[in-house]
Amino acid sequence: MTRTHDLVVVGAGVHGSTVALLAARGGLKVALIERDQICRGASGVNAGTLTMQMTRVALIPYAMRAHAMWASARQWLGHDVGVVVCDGLSLAFTEQEEELLTHRAGKRREAGAPIEIVSGQHAVEIEPGLSRQVRTAGWCKVDGYANAYQTGLAFRRALVEAGVVLYEQTAALGIEIVHRGYHVITSKDPIQGRRLVIAGGVWIEPMLAWLGVHLPIKVLVNQLSVTERIAPVMRTQVGVASGLLSLKQYPHGTVVIGGGWQGKGDRVSGHGEIVPDSVVGNVRLACHAIPNLISARLTRSWTGFEAETADALPAVGAIPGFTDAYVCGSVHSGYTSGPYIAKLLADRLLGREPELPLFPIERLLATEDSR
């Protein structure tokens, strides 16, 4: 039998890792369990976009604060995640898209995102690599991107330094309620903690089911692609009115093409597969936005799982009916907002009043009737 930790966190993506890190820094003895490795699921394979223009309106206040956290990762995390803060543009190519863009930008601006609507010509001045077919653009200076694949190394170092006990390549298989705490059954030794945080991304649904709690989580299989290193073709983070594109060129020259075009896959096998027609569509949209991309070579396409609740808002808060047990996840564009939302939960765990409200899950629980 191992010792009892103050807190056991299941799932080491951005959410679980941040909660574990901040709780450990706040004085708790923390164990972090991950079936794979730190930030190697969605948190390590997403497009790294840090934008307000794809964020849910209700999440804007969180995303704004999270953006500031990413921008200062070197200070609070202590390690580099390759964050670049730059202008962001969201493009409209048709009249319909102009309407959509203006409407959505207005709502996001009301929620606190400093988005300005500019003409196509102005957008080209901001981003000379842009297509001349842009009619209107949303321009936001709180934008940018991180190097998602570096997230794991940065968090791993910080977690080790903070004294978090890491159980990597250790799959959680079940949870038992024991006297004054929880007992996580794993593929290796069981791990015990007084408090529990479930941060398993799309696997939150089966994990909560271990406790008899039924929170439906839809699995989005987002596709991404990356080019070889090429000479500079763009300097901003570019999206489109509908939100179905994210595009940026990293300092080392590769261009990452994302936006949530759907591949195939399921959480049971954990396996995702690209849909070739979706790659072609996504790449066409990218080349339409930044025409000089066309001569680059595609070197890799892949998929990542994004979790979505019934109302597409996060599941972050106490698990009803269980003492000292919490859930943290299902944050749309969760990479952008993740660190801040996880920080709010860490504050709750440490007995501090969170600066902004959490997202209690009672609203999402399937009742006996609906099951």
Which residue ranges make up the site for another protein (CB under 8 A)?
37, 40, 44, 56-57, 93-94, 100, 104, 107, 133, 149-150, 152-153, 156-157, 160, 168-169, 227-229, 240-244, 252, 254, 260-262, 264, 271, 273-277, 279-281, 283-288, 293-302, 312, 332
Specify the 3-state DSSP secondary structure of 362. Answer: helix
* Cα–Cα distance, 69 to 230 (Å, whole number): 30
Burial of 87 from C-beta contacts in 10 A (0-12 / 13-18 / 19+): middle
Specify the 3-state DSSP secondary structure of 40. Answer: coil
Q: Which two tokens stand for residue 3?
A: 């010792």
DSSP-H helix ranges across 111-227? 120-126, 151-161, 204-209
Of 215 and 224, which has the nearer Cβ to another protein? 224
Length of the chain equals: 371
Q: Which residue has the tokens 């604060």?
A: 65
Smallest distance from another protein to CB 155, Å: 11
Amino acid making up residue 114: P
Smallest distance from another protein to CB 273, Å: 6
The C-alpha angle 27, 29, 35, rounded to 5 degrees, equals: 130
Of 84 and 211, which has the nearer Cβ to another protein? 84
Of 181 and 258, which has the nearer Cβ to another protein? 258
Smallest distance from another protein to CB 179, Å: 34
Of 213 and 245, which has the nearer Cβ to another protein? 245
Of 196 and 289, which has the nearer Cβ to another protein? 289
Smallest distance from another protein to CB 36, Å: 9
Q: How far apart are the first and last CA of the chain?
A: 38
Does residue 259 contact residue 248 with C-beta atoms inside 8 Å?
no
Smallest distance from another protein to CB 141, Å: 21
Smallest distance from another protein to CB 85, Å: 22
Smallest distance from another protein to CB 15, Å: 19
Of 106 and 174, which has the nearer Cβ to another protein? 106
Of 93 and 182, which has the nearer Cβ to another protein? 93
Does residue 306 contact residue 42 with C-beta atoms inside 8 Å?
yes
- Residue 228 has, within 13 A of its CA and on its CB side, a CA count of 7
**DSSP letter assigned to residue 84:** E
Of 26 and 291, which has the nearer Cβ to another protein? 291
Smallest distance from another protein to CB 244, Å: 5
- Helix 334-349 to helix 14-25 angle (10° resolution) is 30
Does residue 226 contact residue 39 with C-beta atoms inside 8 Å?
no
